[in-house]
Amino acid sequence: MADAIRSLTLSHVVLPLETPVSDAKVLTGRQKPLTETVLLFVEVTTEQGHRGMGFSYSKRAGGPAQYAHLREVAEVAIGQDPADIDRIYQSLMWAGASVGRSGVATQAVAALDVALWDLKARRADLPLAKLLGAYRDSCRVYNTSGGFLQASVEEIKEKASASLEAGIGGIKIKVGQPDWREDLRRVAALREHLGDTPFMVDANQQWDRDRARRMCRELEAFDLVWIEEPLDAWDAVGHADLSRTFDTPIATGEMLTSVPEHMALVDAGYRGIVQPDAPRIGGITPFLRFATLASHAGLALAPHYAMEIHLHLAAAYPTEPWVEHFEWLNPLFEERIEIRDGQMWVPDRPGLGFTLSERMRQLTKDTVTIGAA
């Protein structure tokens, strides 16, 4: 018997960081330090009493816009069968067609899309990874949150050691400073400290093509798992060229906001690691669409941020990805993800496996329910 969406509760949440952090975009003067994450949560209830929860997020700007956009278009989902996720997705895209099919428009819809996938898996009494068809019960995990540029080398070493002792398998630090020699000094110090531990670096788009080629050549000596975002995120041709030139894999894609933007990498001959972000690409539905195409192209996967969502999607990718560990969103959920032996383990709870915490309610700045209460 077909069900129908009865109501949607949207929540605008502002989560402050304990300590402001800076990547290379701050040191090059392009952005201010990051002090908070703004999230859009969606809770879905159906006529038959089924429920689902999803979220999207923004950093520095865009959070209020996401909330406003979904509040404006969400009504078209009321009364639709929650199992028809792609059809609902398309109806929301048409409802907001005048603002396009990427960026804020799709990031807003992403929160509802994730909630519908969570609902579908909960109704099936399966973890989302199992509903999608998991290849594995755990994925390799690396930590980024301890490697930002406002921290000294000694601080990063301490945080890296703590992460490894907690069961995390790899460490990523930020690079891309105006003084490239300082980047190399920090990388050398961390490589010495980590030994043969898997190690990644992230330039956050701060090099031009000439500097990127020089830095990639210098970084070859450190046996890195990857060099992330050496160029502007939309420079598909430049990233493709680097991926074919150097032995160290190139990683990019976290900033891209649609399947076509990601496919520009494939079309340019990219041979690196793709890093789609489900909330940024528009939800689980477009993430899965691109993941199929990326797998067909033989690309490795390392989804960005939002481990609460991406662990499930990574577990369903044919080749084992790395999943990024950020503890920042922990206060918003009652449950914690199990991490041990260098792996992040898929929860055995239905859906995403998370329930919203009282702290999330306290951090909610605005909320609205659309449809029957």
Annotated binding site for substrate: 23-25, 59-60, 172, 204, 324
Q: Quick check: 244 and 272 in contact, CB under 8 A?
A: no
Non-local (6+) Cβ contacts of 84 within 8 A are: none
Of 215, 281, 284, give the one whose Cα is nearest residue 250. 215
Non-local (6+) Cβ contacts of 144 within 8 A are: 172, 202, 324, 325, 326
**Binding-site entries:** 23-25, 59-60, 172, 202, 204, 228, 254, 324
Which positions are catalytic? 174, 304
Exposed, middle or buried by CB within 10 Å (0-12, 13-18, 19+), for 47?
middle
Single-letter code of the amino acid located at 18: E
Angstrom distance (rounded) from CA 265 to CA 267: 5
Element of type H or E holding 340: strand 338-340
Angstrom distance (rounded) from CA 356 to CA 21: 25
4: left (phi over 0), alpha (psi -120 to 50) or beta: beta
Q: DSSP string of 131-162?
A: HH--S-SEEEEEE-TT--TTS-HHHHHHHHHH
